[in-house]
Amino acid sequence: MTDARARSNTTLLRRLLAVAGGAFLFAFALVPLYRIACEQVFGIKLGQGAANAAEVGAMAIDRSRTVTVQFDAGVSDGLGWSFAPSVASMEVHPGEPAQTHFVAANPAGVAIVGNAVPSVAPNVASGYFSKTECFCFTEQLLEAQETRNMVVRFVIDPKLPADVSTITLSYRFFINAAATERVARATLQAAPAP
């Protein structure tokens, strides 16, 4: 190989590595950009933790107003669970803590781990809807043939715009394949030898 060709290959390799590095950095930067776009531009609250107890406790209950909260549930393909809200909707006063539950069942013969992804509609309401306890904060393990009530406690901020009278809280469960595999391996290791 000639020196010119070797230099050309080295230059090409450096450029390809720079492009790959740039693509990696761009992909890494998309996470905070997505969060900013959702929360600041579209008004979608992405926080996954429990609402601040002090803030919730300081909310005044607006008994002059009620908001209808509708509940929706679904499971992704590949997760054979059934999953449904215990009630289709409820009336709540802004600022007043409320509670409901969803029922999940695993009809399979093996344990399966799932994660619930919440969404609130309309988008403007997501900034005023706070969960104080939710199964969506952690992965959920359902043993074979297990049925479980999954509690959600929430509060609607009294500052919710007056034109919003109905909010839909929706959950979609997805299989957590890595955690399910981890549970399956642990179960096999714990099984007594024949």
Specify the amino acid at residue 129: F
Average pLDDT over residues 78-95: 95
The pLDDT tens digits for 129-149 are: 989 889 998 999 999 999 999
Edge-to-edge strand list for the sheet holding 67-75: 89-92, 67-75, 166-175, 112-121, 140-142
Q: What percent of the chain has pLDDT over 90?
A: 56
Q: Name the pTM for this structure.
A: 0.70
32 versus 127: the higher-pLDDT residue is 127
96 versus 29: the higher-pLDDT residue is 96
The pLDDT tens digits for 147-186 are: 999 999 999 999 999 999 999 999 999 999 999 999 888 8
Residues 53-184, CATH architecture: Sandwich (2.60)
- Average per-residue pLDDT in the chain? 86
Domain ranges of the chain: 1-41, 53-184
pLDDT-derived band at 53 (thresholds 50, 70, 90) equals: low
Average pLDDT over residues 77-82: 90
Q: What are phi and psi of 3, to 5 degrees?
A: -65, -40
Tally of residues, the chain = 194
